[in-house]
Structure 1
């Protein structure tokens, strides 16, 4: 590992180790803090003001392309290249340390090169977020367990990555087993169940987006939006006095009915690769709540549920079991027809489906962001260090044709890689996502004028959780 750390600074001839210093990192409240843990907790800022720290990846890329920032590009390229060539596989713990150390290193270098050295706290924080998104987008196939298993198979995974997959499958099996349960089984009163359903449907939709993104921040935003929607509902129906006792059952219901794949792996990915100082107390609370909800579901049994009518529950359980059996038989037949020879005896159905789906890791939104970066630097192009014997890499991990990095498995043509055209494409996709948000809110608030809903979305920058909260307040 020390060899890789030495490669952080390819321009320095004398330095052989990573210098540990109190690297300035910009926190969410725009204070300058050190990389060491804080001894005192900051005053909790208003949630909406915290969200005002807007992240603009395109702006970061524009600054990163500045000729004055070329050394930063070289540091980043060197790190990424060494990460994927010096060893066939790092353990999850090694990955976490290497990536965190590189962030500290590159954050410190921002102070030495324009235009970053001239940034105020807000712009510097945006740059730090940009670096995290950039490197994790490139290293996603090596760090996110459900994608890594596609590359090397479960037998070659280290214990931590393997446990991610097994935990995903355990959670998914319980979700499938109790897919039929209703809110009253979780002690949520029938009186508000019908009104809750349409809001919880949107919360599940937001949580499902977690697999659309590769950056830890983007995944965390999906969790935040989900939880903010749930808390907005609780406040509206005056159920928030009980705190977690009201919140967790609704979160459990959203997870079970949201059909979110690989939720444990996503949580672990955020824990490992979201820079610690970027995780606000609010983020940590919601992340812990999600962990608690997934743990409850993984260990769920009948005794944990409120069952008002044993006969009705038993019939629903049996019907669901029959559906699952039929689904397993259909999946097995499809696998036989495709001649699948992958050893999948030790993994669940959801992971098997993902392994057979080569497009799992490719989200249009993230692939466009990745292509934006590739327009000016192909980070994975380069030769392994002459002093290090590296195992042969697959064509997928180190493409020989630079153009392949930009277009491979993305569905994006070469013509789209023009900078102006790329920005148009990003804008179009953003507008499409905004329209989907509007349509969901129209459905949730049919009594409110559509013009009012749209005005609120514009004012709140289409942040789903805050939009729902604001619209609910109009009813009070």
Structure 2
């Protein structure tokens, strides 16, 4: 087995195992959190959380202000956990898990009010999407990536991880995808070093830039800014902070990239790359002119048919035509939370919050039937979506 295959296999296995374990633990933690918050003793915490969430619906979204509000609330509430009767004998790991679940619960609820609500973020998303298209010609040699660091299988795996960011709603879940991407690249360079080609301090960044361009992840600016704003500050440290900073730097590098930043470009490639920014400025000016020239809205009772047609704006980027299982799952989380609050979830799944000692022998037939029905529904949906996405 060659080095490239070994690197890819190792990265794939490690990432797969890590993702599987992390996902399972996260699901268990979130379910445990919801179960604990249903207890009468948690009524004070539930009231504070609901009040905080409701406050977000009363004003215009402001990412900087909302970030500060969230960070303050997470710190205050996690401190309350440590002093609360429900966590009286909790370990440090249990308290950490509660903090993670709290962040996920709140941000799942607030996702429509906090993600991609900044005009600057959406403008940058559109601009970098155009840059990705213009950089379709990009090759490793344009970024001076040495041959020993060109492992296509690992690059593809890193690209897939990065593209998953847009499927999740919780800051931690998005961050895990970004970190997995960076870890795969880091592992690739580590294996190259073991083969006698030690990477220098600047070897990671060019590979990361190349992976980001080839992945062309949707709404990458909005996703990274969302993580930076709404991931708990005490957890965005060390490796997480380092890799997130690198990713944001890579995105900024791509956004501002001109032909002079790359090596061995043809004249046609230079023209394609440099014309993107020029076209973007032209389009922005054109849209500003359209806005300025647009007629005022018709008064009530006006003859709309007699009004001149509205000037056309530049078409938006095409939307995806299908959703992955992960996207559907994470969109459904908010619906599950709402169903749990209304009592609908417990009505449909009476065993959901049972402890082992609550079960009776007579419950086993119903529990087994419910499990089989759930398993078959999940398999049917998963296979149908997977088949349709090919």
Please classify the TM superposition score into its range, dividing by the shorter chain length.
0.5 to 0.7
Tell me which residue corresponds to 2:54. 81
Tell me the distance in 1 between the aligned counterparts of 2:322 and 2:310.
14
Tell me which residue corresponds to 1:173. 130
Tell me which residue corresponds to 1:269. 226
Tell me which residue corresponds to 1:452. none
Tell me the distance in 1 between the aligned counterparts of 2:376 and 2:163.
21
How big is each residue's C-alpha offset from its partner over 1:412-458, in whole Å with a ceiling of 9 and x where there is no partner?
xx9689848699579958xx79xx9xxxxxxxxxxxxxxxxxxxxxx
Q: Compared with structure 1, are the counterparts of its residues 218 and 300 closer, same or farther at alpha carbon in structure 2 (3 Å cutoff)? A: same
How far 1:277 moved relative to its partner?
0.4
Residue of structure 2 aligned with 1:374, choices 321, 338, 347? 338
How far 1:342 moved relative to its partner?
10
Q: Compared with structure 1, are the counterparts of its residues 189 and 242 closer, same or farther at alpha carbon in structure 2 (3 Å cutoff)? A: closer
Give TM-score, length-normalised by structure 2.
0.68
Instruction: Say yes or no: does 1:229 pair with 2:195.
Output: no
Paired residues in the alignment total 309
How big is each residue's C-alpha offset from its partner over 1:195-233, in whole Å with a ceiling of 9 and x where there is no partner?
x11110110000000001111111110111000000111
Tell me which residue corresponds to 2:102. 131
Q: Is the 8 A contact 1:204 1:258 kept in 2?
A: yes
How big is each residue's C-alpha offset from its partner over 1:294-324, in whole Å with a ceiling of 9 and x where there is no partner?
111111122111117x368579x59x99xx9
Tell me which residue corresponds to 1:286. 243
Q: Is the 8 A contact 2:159 2:214 kept in 1?
A: yes
**Alignment RMSD:** 4.1
Residue of structure 1 aligned with 2:63, choices 92, 95, 99? 92
Tell me the distance in 2 between the aligned counterparts of 1:342 and 1:116.
60
Q: Is the 8 A contact 1:65 1:376 kept in 2?
A: no
How big is each residue's C-alpha offset from its partner over 1:89-109, in whole Å with a ceiling of 9 and x where there is no partner?
131122112212221222122
Unaligned residue ranges in structure 1 (runs of 5+) = 1-49, 149-160, 325-340, 379-401, 407-413, 437-476
Tell me which residue corresponds to 2:43. 70
Q: Compared with structure 1, are the counterparts of its residues 298 and 377 closer, same or farther at alpha carbon in structure 2 (3 Å cutoff)? A: same
Tell me which residue corresponds to 2:80. 109
Unaligned residue ranges in structure 2 (runs of 5+) = 1-17, 280-308, 353-366
**Which of the two has greater helix per residue?**
2
Give TM-score, length-normalised by structure 1.
0.56
Which has the larger Rg? 2
Tell me the distance in 1 between the aligned counterparts of 2:74 and 2:200.
36
1:236-315 alignment, distance < 5 Å = 236-238=191-193, 241-307=198-264, 310=266, 313=269
Q: Is the 8 A contact 1:212 1:366 kept in 2?
A: yes
Q: Is the 8 A contact 1:110 1:116 kept in 2?
A: yes
Q: Compared with structure 1, are the counterparts of its residues 66 and 344 closer, same or farther at alpha carbon in structure 2 (3 Å cutoff)? A: farther
Runs of 4+ in 1 over 6 A off after TM superposition: 50-53, 341-344, 356-360, 414-418, 420-423
SS of the aligned residue for 1:272 comes to helix
